Amino acid sequence: MSNLTYHLRAEDVNVWFGERHVLKNVNLAFPTNQVTALIGPSGCGKSTFIRTLNRMHELIPSAGFAGKVLLDDEDIYGDGIDPVKVRLNVGMVFQKPNPFPTMSIQENVLSGLKLSGRKNANNEELVETSLRRASIWNEVKDRLNDPALSLSGGQQQRLCIARSLAMGPKVLLMDEPCSALDPGSTRRVEETILELAPEMTIVIVTHNMQQAQRVADQTAFFLSEDGNPGHVVEFGATEQVFEQPIDPRTNDYVNGHFG
């Protein structure tokens, strides 16, 4: 572990929605060029936590936060830090594909640049590179001006991945990116994750235990019990978490005894 580098760390992360304490004392470090899976039953705070990693949770009016999230050793919650710039470095892919419906495939890929005011020397090259990295170029290269909504659900999700990649993020967050997809599309997205992992830090929330085992280098198991806030029960190499868990609650969850 000592040879690993980390673009992203969470230290003592706590989250509230109004008076409700939903996450307590989460400490996780995400190795660069690896995939980390967040697993656990519904309602244990996984999606809330992943949204703290690029300050998206604070778009909810009642949200409160304490702790630190360090991106290259700088606290993204520090004074004077622009959350919009944070989100350019820490991209997000959501549960349901959300391409911009009035834009073409090509315009969707470039939309982040336009919204952020960034300039790029060669947009055509960026579009091709981003779509190739998202494993969808060969399917859309002859229809870049078609509406994004003309694509299938799985293709739309990979387009959304390409849209994030066009911004050159250091970290890619994925909140159940395959839950709305058929098995074939899920496989393509998983292949894309594995192809991207050597280039960046990836964090994925998943309810699919097999998916976590297929794509993740390490896994964190979240749990919320008896009305207490969500917290990390166990965190380690994926093989260890699934095959030799330390905590009996982890063993029960990954073997389908609850959740």
In a domain, 162, yes or no: no
pLDDT digits (tens, 9 = 90+) for 156-166: 999 999 999 99
Measured distance CA(100)–CA(105) in Å, rounded:
9
CB 197 within 8 A of CB 34: yes
- DSSP H helices, 74-208, are 83-89, 105-116, 123-133, 137-140, 153-165, 183-196
Report yes or no on 156 lying in a domain: no
Q: Is residue 146 part of a domain?
A: no
Q: Cα separation of 155 and 131, whole Å?
A: 11
How do residues 199-236 score in pLDDT, each as one tens digit?
999 999 999 999 999 999 999 999 999 889 999 999 99
Angle at 56 between CA 75 and CA 182, to 5 degrees: 125
When the pLDDT of each residue in the chain is averaged and rounded to a whole number, the result is: 94
Whole-structure pTM value = 0.94
**Full domain range(s) for residue 237:** 6-99+171-254
Task: Give a yes or no: residue 16 inside a domain.
Answer: yes
Structural domains counted in the chain: 1
Q: What is the CATH number of the domain that holds 19?
A: 3.40.50.300
Residue 77: inside a domain, yes or no? yes
Q: What is the pLDDT of residue 3?
A: 66
Return d(Cα 175, Cα 92) in angstroms, integer. 8
Is the residue at 241 inside a domain? yes
Is pLDDT at 1 greater than 60 in this prediction? no
pLDDT at 181 over 80: yes
